[in-house]
């Protein structure tokens, strides 16, 4: 499973690149606004640091304007993926961008038919938001399971990005279900590495090493 970081924070992205585990980054307008920086210079820097795909979201609501925005972003770098919301305008945008060989990530997916329609329009990725479904007492990972099955049934090549991940269990389930990508906040990435037995084991090894005649 590929690991993307769900952030626009440069320090976090640089750290994940240094750890050697980063396959890509996803951003959205809320994550960008948290950084309190000018949009274009920030996104250019992210694109330069990240070795893989970086999702940049369009903010227009009309298809023609979304396409104009998308073309402008796509010119920035080879690794730009255009994030498009799932609605009728969004589908038109995905079709046009696919014809132009511009990669897309269809976002705000909350049902399997939405994912199937996005895939049929040519989406490179679909992003089901699992945490937000759990927030309203639904099953976010149940939706991922459904999309994995539907895409498998029809050999659909669109990749599934499990998004709105809130904790390591979402990550583990995504991997068990065979999702293509998990996009995680930095805090979840750190938690993935933690295990109390690893810490206890390290402490014991270091203590015992002190007793060794050297
Ligand atoms: O990529 C966007 C998605 O991950 C949003 O997450 O935590 O705002 O529901 P969240």
Q: Residue 50 maps to which CATH number? A: 3.20.20.70
Confidence (pTM): 0.96
Strands (E), the chain: 2-6, 24-26, 54-57, 80-85, 104-109, 125-128, 159-162, 181-184
Which residues make beta-bridge pairs with 107?
85
User: Structural domain of residue 124, as residue ranges?
Assistant: 2-211
Q: What percent of the chain has pLDDT over 70?
A: 100
Measured by CA distance, the residue closest to atom 8 of ligand 1 is 164
Q: What is the mean pLDDT of the chain?
A: 98
pLDDT band at residue 168, thresholds of 50, 70 and 90? very high
**pLDDT for 171:** 98
Ligand 1 centroid to residue 121 C-alpha, Å: 23
pLDDT band at residue 40, thresholds of 50, 70 and 90? very high
What pLDDT, in 10s, does the model give residues 130-158? 999 999 999 999 999 999 999 999 999 99
Count of domains in the chain? 1
**pLDDT for 83:** 98
Ligand 1 centroid to residue 165 C-alpha, Å: 7
What pLDDT, in 10s, does the model give residues 85-141? 999 999 999 999 999 999 999 999 999 999 999 999 999 999 999 999 999 999 999
Q: Any residues with Cβ below 6 Å from ligand 1, and which? A: 6, 26, 28, 129, 131-132, 163-164, 183
83 is catalytic: yes
Ligand 1 centroid to residue 129 C-alpha, Å: 7
């Amino acid at each position: 499973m590929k690991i993307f970081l769900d952030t626009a924070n440069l320090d976090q992205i640089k750290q994940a690149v240094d750890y050697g585990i980063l396959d890509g980054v996803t951003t959205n307008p809320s994550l960008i606004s948290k950084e309190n920086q000018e949009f274009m210079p920030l996104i250019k820097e992210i694109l330069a640091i990240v070795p893989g795909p970086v999702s940049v979201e369009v903010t227009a609501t009309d298809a023609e304007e979304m396409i104009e925005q998308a073309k402008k972003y796509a010119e920035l770098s080879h690794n730009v993926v255009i994030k498009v919301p799932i609605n009728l305008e969004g589908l038109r945008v995905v079709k046009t961008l696919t014809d132009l060989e511009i990669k897309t990530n269809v976002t705000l997916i909350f049902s399997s038919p939405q994912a199937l329609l996005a895939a049929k329009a040519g989406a490179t990725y679909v992003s089901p938001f699992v945490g937000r479904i759990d927030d309203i007492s639904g099953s976010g990972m149940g939706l991922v399971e459904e999309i994995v099955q539907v895409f498998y049934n029809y050999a659909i090549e669109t990749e599934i990005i499990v998004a709105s991940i809130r904790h390591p269990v979402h990550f583990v389930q995504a991997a068990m279900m065979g999702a293509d990508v998990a996009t995680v906040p930095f805090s979840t990435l750190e938690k993935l590495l933690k295990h109390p037995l690893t810490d206890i084991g390290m402490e014991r090894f270091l203590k015992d090493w002190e007793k060794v005649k050297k």
